[in-house]
Structures are given as structure tokens and as C-alpha cells.
Structure 1
Amino acid sequence: MNMSIVKKLKALHQLALSLTCSALLSLPLVAETAWRIDTVASDLDFAWSLAFMPDGRFLVTERTGQLVILNADGSEAKRQAAALPDMFVAAQGGLLDVLLAADFDSSGRLFLSYSCGNLNANSTCLASAQLINDELTAIRPIFRAQPERRGAAHYGGRMVQLPDETLVLTLGDGFDYREQAQNKANHLGKTVRLTVDGAVPADNPFVNQAGIAGEIFTLGHRNVQGIVYDPQTGQLFSHEHGPKGGDELNLLSAGQNYGWPVATYGVDYTGARVSPYQRFVGMQDPLYVWTPSIAPAGMTLYQGALFPEWQGNIFVSALAGKALHRLQLTAGKVTAEQVLLADLATRLRDVRTGPDGAIYLLTDGAKGQLLRLLPN
């Protein structure tokens, strides 16, 4: 490409900021669309992530450490333990995201994020592997976030592959280490950009800078659990959990600082102030904020054919909010929001657009489900 992906994302970020004067105003509800919800599969054990296989089957990660292949009709085709090196399963930790590589059809290659280590020293890890004849093989760790920390919360773990085939992996601040989100010497509270082999791309924003981790793509995050790339505009969106209030939707640009914990619209769980600042010079404002918190967990950019009126909308699955949030974007800013599926009253972990144009969701819990949203 004529312009590197890093420079392109920077240019698009500046354009969006010039068009977005405020994302925090009350927004109108968007018009209703007739839809129905079907249950595709049940009895999933804390399902975390969903991917679509070329043959029409589903690939599901369970945070408890299982990789599950479901047939197109939802029946279980294969369940296997993801034998990832040093995997640590506790609280928010375990097997997290699954991403099929751009060349999966020919190589069978995929990527898995997971927590690794033990209760006293753990981190977010990334491994590449191959799925050959439904067997997970050739597992190879390619990245381990540093430093390791104590506890079992705020791992981030979502992934996206950009058109240049680099990977962006989201990370959390480790919960008790929030000040480290501003420390460029480590990976806590960052997103990182890597090659498919885990190396640092030559055009990363902080590459070869003394005292700075070269993998860093953006910084100042709390716990990023949603990320999507828009192939039509070249924009990269993420969302992250705030503390008590202050969940954010952000437009990511290489090298930018997204504020946490210096600038936040949330407060601590005790009600104490995290920071006196909601905005701070040199730090990026969110495109949109949720207060009270909805606990955003998954995200998809809809570009399917079944719901033409939803083209280009962002869908966010919510855990605490127990709903699916549809955001309408116009000229780079959120102009309307609709809350769907609140009547289910269940925690929604992941949301994806299927190759058939339907919207698929994973519910959270020991008896989780794979749901499909279709036009009525």
C-alpha cells in the first residue's frame, strides 16, 4: 500500500476528531427494526469468543480452557482442551480470544489469547497454532505481556488482524496497577501491534526508542475487550471498561494516549475520585461514554446483507448492562443508540457478524448459549 497502516490510522483519527465536538450528549433512539432471536447452541462453559470457519461451522473458546467446534446446526463436533503453555485459569483469566488468520483457508493458522502464569505472577499471552483435521496443533507462544503481576483481572485479550497482516492485541492494566497504563516501559494498559510471528513491526510508533516497549501501539487504557477494523474507512475502533461509570468507545491511532487513569469519566468502585480530570491535554477524548457502566465485552461492525439499515453500525455486547447496544455513526461520531435484547436479562460476552449476515452472540456463564439475531 502507498501509505503504511500506521500513518493511515493517524490521518483518519485526526479527521474524526475534527468532526466530533462531543460524544457525551443525550442521543436519540434509532428506529426499530423487526428481528427475532434463535438459540443455536447451549451448555457452553463461560464462552468468551466466537469465530466462523470456512465450512460453515463455529469455533468457540471457553474461558475454562476448552476450544469447541460446533456444527452449523449447533451440535457439538469437537471439544478439546487448548493445551496452551502455562495457561492460568482463575476469575477473569483463562482462554480468551480466537482469531482465524487471514490465510486460515490454506494454512489452518489461528491465534489464541489467554492468561498465563500463576496467581502471584501472571500476564496476557498470545499463541499461534494450527487447526488441522479439527485438532489444535503446532502451538507456539509468540508474545507475553510484561511485567507479570499478581491477581486475576483486567487481561484485555481481544485481537484484530489489519490489512498488512499485523495483529493488534488489547491488554488491561492488571486492576491494581492502573498507574502503569501511562508507563511506556511496559505493556500494562496498552494495545500492542505485532507481526504474525510476534515480532515488532518496523513502523510501530515507538520502535527503537530507548526505555519504551516497542510493541506498544496505544496507551492509557483500563481494560480493552472490544476491537474492530473498518475495511471501508480504514478506522480502528475499541471499547474498554471504565471503573464505576466511564466505559469508553475510542478511535485508535498509533502512538496516542487514551487517558487512563489521568482522565476518566468514571469514579472508583468506592465512589472515590480516580482523577480530577475528564479530559487532559495531549490525551484523546473518547468517541462515546457509558455512565452508568454497561461493562462492554464484545464488538462488531455490521457490514452484512440481512440488515441493510444497520450497515456501518457498531454493536457492543454488555455484561453488567445485559443488553446489545447498537451505535449509529455519522461522519465519524456516534449520533444515535439503540438498546436491544434487554428482555433476555442475561450477560452478553461476545458479538460477531456472521458470513450469512446474521448477528451472533455468546452469553456469559456456566450454561452459556450461542444466539443468532435474524430479520423477522
Structure 2
Amino acid sequence: MNRRAILAASGGALAATVAGCADVLEAGDNDLAVEAVADGFAHPWSLTVLPDDGRLLVTEREGRLSVLDPNDGDVEAVEGAPEVYAEGQGGLLDAAFHPGFPDEPWLYLTYATAGGDGESTTALGRGELDLEAGSLEGFEELYAVEPFVDSDGHFGSRVVFSEDGAVYVTVGDRQSKAFGPDHVAQDRTTGLGSTLRLEPDGSVPEDNPFVDEDGLEGAIFSYGHRNAQGMTVHPETGALWQSEHGEEDGDEINVVEAGANYGWPVAGYGCRYGTDDPIGEESHERDDVVDPVYHWECGSGGFPPAGITFYDGDSEEWAGDLFVGNLAGEYLGRFTVDGTDVEEHEPLLEGRGWRVRDVEVHSGTGALYVAVDGADAPVVRLTPE
């Protein structure tokens, strides 16, 4: 059925389904309708709802960009995406629209890009999206993290606009094993292992926390990150939330603050792979490190996290909840949030063998859409029954 819809919706109504195409998953006390919208995607990495349009923009890691109509499953290719370094965890990654879209027709993409001798890095770029022509025009690279590294892992990489109008990008530590205070994530002369804050044109804001300190990378907003692959803005508080991979467990959910150190690898709750040996101190033991609002300790089994979003749709059942994709655990996590108090609830989509790469709330219908990570993968819709 390569990229053909297996759901038909009448006038966009979520209840109208093709017989046999929707199934129901028992999730605690709740019934969840799980409907495949389209399939045949090769490692889809992000889902983004087009403003005032209702369709979904889909990125695939190997470099494809497309628009998916969730009503009929139609998929249209978008030409003009940048050439990417599609190796390991690298490729075409996240997407975000300028807050003024479509008057400001910019589409922002994060992606892995290659340098010489097989080295690579995380980059941010933008182009003008012409939906009628199905093309991304005049794409330009805005920012590429230095240095380029000989590694195929830990690129980050999520991109969001915050209420302050700045664009934020997560960058991984590129799998550096030089644990200790000299690790790249603790080195503020480079953007590795950090959250970047940039102006929409890619320049560095004058009010960034380290912009006036000689020798430091002025684009850094926060540092001490291992590999944050989820980022979202709280719809009520405007706070920036991230989901981040630990080593052996040690996965985290963080609320990100300007200038803050999130500890990796001098502090955290994970262990060295294959051991129960802690990598650093526990975060709460250090005054110079921000403790995560939620974490998984070594030995817990962890929660290898991906895309993250707060639910702000019409479902009273999910109101204010945080949804986080789980990769190796193969389910969608649901968390209730009260301030910074976080509690995990029953897993969704468990037992299907689906690595959940991204999750997005549809602003028009309130449904959740999920991108499954796989070589021939679906995009699915979730609604509480």
C-alpha cells in the first residue's frame, strides 16, 4: 500500500473510518482509536502541522520532505530540501515554521551535513515553502555547529520557535566518550552538547547568556546535554521542555533555562553502558547543575526518548498532558504535569513493535499524530474513544 491511505475521513470527521482499517487499543481505563493514515515512509523523523492548512509536513531521515493530507492519506513530495549526510543517526531531521507563516513563508530544517574526510555536524537552514509549486525555494544554511566530528551519532536535533521569537535548536555531543569536566558538552567554546538560541536569520541574539564572554560560543542557551531529541514549548507557561537520552538509562525530561548546565557527563542518573557504574555525581548533589524534572535511574530500564509535545487539543482526558515518543521501549509515553511535577501514566501503543519517533497534536482536530521509526513505516492517528 506504499504511501496510500488506509483511512477515509468524511469532511475531516475523526469518527469516519474504513471498515477494518482502525483498531482499538485498551489503554488502562481508556479506549484508544489507532488509525494508520499513510505508510511507506523511510525512517520519518518529524511531523509538523502546516499553519492554517491542516496537512502535515513529514521529514524522512534519508532526505525526503513531503506533505501528508490526514483526511485522505495523500502524500505529495516537496522539492528543494538540502543535501544531507544520511548516515547513522544523521540525515534530514526536524522542521519548524516561522511564527508568521504564511506571510513569512520560511520553513526551518535541522539536518546533518558533511564536511571533509567523512566528518559531519548538525546544521540549521531555511527556505521559502511554496505549497502550490510543491517546492522549498532558495534554501540556505543559517548555522552549522563547529567543529565537524568523525561520528554518525548524537546530532540532536529538534528546532522550535519560542514566545520570544527566537529559534532554539538541540545539538548532541556526537557520542564523545571523553567523560569528565573536559567533555565537549561542558566546553562552552563549542556548540556540541547544547541548546542553541538564534535569531530567525541565524544570527546570535545580543541577550544570549554567554554572548559577551570572550572565547565562548555566543549561540549557546544551555549546555551539558548528551542528546536531546525532543523539544517543545509549554502552551501556558512558555517554558522550553526537552527529552534527553542518557547512557545506560539516565534518560531525562528537563525544563531548559538560560545559561544553565544540565550536567552531562559530570552529573546525571545513568551508568556506563553494560555496567552499574555511575558516570558522574547525581544531579541533585551539585549546585552548579539543574536537576531534571523527571528521570530514569540506572537499572530502571530507561526511556530512550524522541519527539515530545504537550496536549492542547479538545480531549478533556488528555488536557495538559505531555506525550513523549519512546524508541527502544517501543511505545508512546503519557505524563501528567503539574508545574514541574511529572508523573508517568500507562504506556500507549505498547506491544506493536513501533519505535515512536515523533508525536504532534493537530491544532484543527485535537488528534495526536505519531511517526513510527522504520524502513517502511506508517504515520498513525490517535484519538480517545
- TM (normalized to structure 1)? 0.88
Aligned residue in 2 for 1:219 = 223
Aligned to 1:11: none
- Give me the whole-angstrom Cα distance separating, in 2, the residues matched to 1:117 and 1:177: 21
CA deviation digits over 1:145-169, x for unaligned, max 9?
Answer: 1111101000001011011210010
Match of 1:308 in 2: 316
Kept in 2, the 8 Å contact 1:113–1:126? The answer is: yes
Q: 1:231 aligns to what?
A: 235
Which residue, out of 262, 265, 283, partners 2:266?
262
- CA displacement at 1:334 relative to structure 2: 0.9
In the TM superposition, 1:121-160 aligns within 5 A as: 121-132=119-130, 133=132, 134-160=134-160
- CA distance in 1 between counterparts of 2:287 and 2:340 reads 21
Match of 2:303 among 294, 298, 303: 294
Deviation digits for residues 83-102 of structure 1 (CA, Å, limit 9, x no counterpart): 415x2110100000011111
Give the structure 1 partner of residue 350 of structure 2. 342
**Structure (1 or 2) with the greater helix fraction:** 1
Q: Helix, strand or coil: the match of 1:338?
A: coil
Q: Deviations over 1:200-253 (max 9, x none)?
A: 111111112101100000000000011111131122110101111010001110
Instruction: For 2:317, give the aligned amino acid.
Output: E
Residue 329 of structure 2 is aligned to residue 321 of structure 1: yes
CA contact 1:329–1:336 (8 Å) conserved in 2: no
- Counterparts in 2 of 1:144 and 1:274: CA distance versus 1, 3 Å: farther
1:331 aligns with 2:339: yes
1:160 is paired with a residue whose SS is strand
Q: Which has the higher contact order (CA 8 A, sep 6+)?
A: 1
Please identify, of 350-359 and 333-342, the stretch whose mean Cα deviation from structure 2 is larger: 333-342
Q: CA deviation at 1:75?
A: 3.1
- String of CA shifts for 1:96-154, please: whole Å, max 9, x gaps: 00111111222321100000015632100000111112211110110101111101000
Unmatched 5+ residue regions in structure 1? 1-29
Is the contact between residue 246 and residue 292 of structure 1 (CA under 8 Å) also seen in structure 2?
A: no
Structure 1 partner of 2:166: 166
The answer to whether the aligner puts 1:91 opposite 2:88 as a matched pair is yes
TM-score (structure 2 length as normaliser): 0.86
Does the 8 A contact of 1:322 with 1:348 survive in 2?
A: yes
Task: Find out whether 1:361 has 2:370 as its counterpart.
Answer: yes
Cα pair distance change 1:31/1:78, threshold 3 Å: closer
Question: In the alignment, is residue 351 of structure 1 matched against residue 359 of structure 2?
Answer: yes
Aligned residue among 176, 180, 185 for 2:184: 180
1:113 — aligned with what? 110
Task: Specify the alignment match of 1:57 in structure 2.
Answer: 55
1:65–1:82 CA contact under 8 A, matched in 2: no
In the alignment, what sits opposite 1:282?
A: 288
Q: Are the counterparts in 1 of residues 321 and 334 from structure 2 also a CA contact under 8 Å?
A: yes
Q: How far apart are 1:270 and its partner, in Å? A: 3.2
CA distance in 2, matches of 1:232, 1:142: 30
Residue aligned with 2:351, SS: helix
Query: How many residues were matched structurally?
Result: 345
How far did residue 304 of structure 1 move?
A: 0.5
Distance (Å, rounded) in 1 between the aligned partners of 2:81 and 2:318: 39
Structure 2 counterpart SS, 1:340: coil
Mapped contact 1:65–1:81 kept (Cα < 8 A): no
Summarize deviations over 1:313-368 as a string: whole Å, max 9, x none. Answer: 11001110101111111232113432111022211100011111001100001111
Q: For structure 2, which runs of at least 5 residues remain unmatched after alignment?
A: 1-26
Contact 2:335–2:345 at 8 Å: present in 1 too?
A: yes
Q: CA deviation at 1:31?
A: 6.4
- Contact 2:320–2:337 (Cα < 8 Å) also in 1: yes
Task: Please provide the CA RMSD for this pair.
Answer: 1.7
Task: State the shift of 1:74 in Å.
Answer: 4.6
Residues in 1 aligned to 2:282 and 2:317: alpha-carbon distance in whole angstroms: 34
